[in-house]
Amino acid sequence: MAGFVQIIEMKTSRIDEVRQLVDEMRAKREARGDVMLARATMGEDRDRPGTYISIVEFDSYEAAMANSNDPLTTEMAKNMAELCDGPPKFTNVDVTFVQER
């Protein structure tokens, strides 16, 4: 299974507002009838409180780029930046191997 994953690391003291922003974006996408990502997971780094890691999975690089170019994503990125304590760090990964239970 090929795919594409984007890992986003951010530091914020406003995680509840981040979660609300993510929920609002998901609702807007669902209202439009589209969902571009396959899965998204967010967690807090145990060793660095206030640092959060998002793992966003896409079916392909092309799907990820369509998501990146979507005006809703641009709006969310702008709003998210205002909630972060610094610029987020992005890592882009081409999936070459998946192991499931």
Query: Residue 84 — pLDDT band, cuts 50, 70, 90?
Result: very high
The CATH number given to 3-95 is 3.30.70.100
Q: Are 51 and 43 in contact (CB under 8 A)?
A: no
Query: pLDDT per residue over 34-70, tens digit each?
Result: 877 788 999 999 999 999 999 999 999 999 999 899 9
pLDDT on residue 51? 98
Query: Which tokens sit at 90?
Result: 């992005």
Q: How far apart are the first and last CA of the chain?
A: 15
